[in-house]
Structure 1
Amino acid sequence: MNTMSRISSAFIATVLLSAGVANAQWGNGGERAQDRREIRQDKRELRDDKRDVADLEDVLARFDRAWTRQNEREMTSVENRLRELMQREFAESRSELQRDRAEVRRSDREVRRDGWGRPGMDDRRDRRDDQRDVRVEVATLQTRMAITRELNMVMGSRNQWDLQRQRNLITQLIQVARQEVHQTKQEMREDRREMREDRRDDRRRY
């Protein structure tokens, strides 16, 4: 091999190696950026979930006052407010479900990215956590839908039994909202753990 050929070969090898390192670094940077986005989303969801709990508790307090005073105008206002909250919570639940499903797809990519051999234990655990989050969100959405169907059947009635049923259903909605606060906190812990794992993997690579 002449001198020019050796120089050309060395140059090509250097370029290919540099490109590979750059692509790996870009990929890791993309993962870290995604981790940070998920943490920000978790914080927004937690803030929204806490607001939902407070709003539903306020509705329950207003419901009790309207029932005690037999105030038709206030009771109608309470029921309208409850409908607004349910529409908002349905929208939030669907948005969170889409996000959880996107995280499952991301976890699947990370497991496949491991290449030869078995996927890493951390990636398999992350995928299981994300799949569980989807199941929980689906169950929460279904529970809300069932409660809403029952509410629609008793709203507007001033029969004592229907009013008691409506109150019980509002209480159930509060319990669901509190469970969502707990679930979002758990997802936040998981996302922060994934961020630490990604940083640790970066240090191992470089």
Structure 2
Amino acid sequence: MNRLPLVLAAALALPAAASAQTARDRAEDRHELRQDRRERADDRRDLARLEGLQARFDAARRRGDRREIAAVDEALARELRAERHETRVEAARDRDEFRRDRQEGDRHDARDDRRDLAIERRVAERRAAIGDELRGLRGRFGRPAVERRGILIAELVDLARGELAQDRRELREDRRELRQDGGAPFGAPR
């Protein structure tokens, strides 16, 4: 039996399969870039809201306006609930990305994903602890309670700024992955 046609068919199929895998990798990388850009836009809005709440709180504290401080407490509670949900969604996406990179055998990307997951977990844990402490301060308007609120709100703002820095790192990593997979980032020359 002449095996030459089978060997030729197999040899021709390998580059096609590799090309299909590369196209899938590029599509996943582009999807991750779009996702990162959405997260960055969301995180910018989150930061702006937190900075606005911080400004409202500071003004209310200076005036001794308990009603406004209570309103800020409510707004912070809503913000933290929304952030908890957003964090769960992002963590699930990051775990999927980590599994995919590990399955592909890309240790560098998997290491980056593992680092990102650890950072997000620490931020989520700290944010939850701040939320718990803020809940304990609700309805308390003595000077120590009000001062502590200010410190906690400032920490939430700092965490939000850190998330934006993390978003920039993620975008750089995903652009690098896209270049490695043979594609160019959106708007970038090939």
TM-score with structure 2 length normalisation? 0.88
Is 2:59 the counterpart of 1:76?
A: no
The structure with the larger Rg is 1
Q: Does structure 2 conserve the Cα–Cα contact (< 8 Å) formed by 1:67 and 1:75?
A: yes
3-state SS in 2 of match to 1:158? coil
Among 34, 58, 65, the residue aligned to 2:59: 65
- Separation in 2, partners of 1:158, 1:182: 34
For 1:50, the equivalent position in structure 2 comes to: 44
Give distance in 2, aligned partners of 1:140 and 1:197. 30
- Distance in 1 between residues matched to 2:66 and 2:131, nearest whole Å: 21
| Paired position in structure 1 for 2:187 | none
Letter in 2 for 1:143: R
Instruction: Give the aligned partner of residue 204 of structure 1.
Output: none
Q: Assess if the C-alpha contact under 8 Å between 1:154 and 1:166 holds in 2.
A: yes
Structure-2 residue corresponding to 1:156: 139
Cα shift at 1:10: 4.8
For residues 114-154 of structure 1, what are the alpha-carbon distances to aligned partners after superposition, in whole Å with 9 as ceiling and x for unaligned? xxxxxxxxx32222111111111111111111111111110
Match of 1:32 among 14, 26, 30: 26
Q: How many residues align?
A: 183
Q: Which moved more, 1:29-38 or 1:90-99?
A: 90-99
Are the aligned partners of 1:155 and 1:166 in contact in 2 as well (CA < 8 Å)?
no
Number of the residue aligned with 2:152: 169
Give the aligned CA root-mean-square deviation in angstroms: 1.8
Amino acid at match of 1:151: L
- TM-score of the two chains, using structure 1 as the length reference: 0.82
Q: Alpha-carbon deviation of 1:13?
A: 4.0
Residues 33-75 of structure 1 show CA distances to partners (whole Å, capped at 9, x for unaligned) of: 0000011111111111111111111001111222222333322
Is 1:196 aligned to 2:179, yes or no? yes
Query: What does residue 134 of structure 1 align with?
Result: 117
Superposed displacement of residue 14, structure 1: 4.3
Q: Structure 1 counterpart of 2:29, which letter?
A: D
In structure 1, runs of 5+ residues without a counterpart are 112-122, 201-206
The alignment partner of 1:199 has SS state of: coil
Q: 1:96 aligns with which of 90, 104, 120?
A: 90
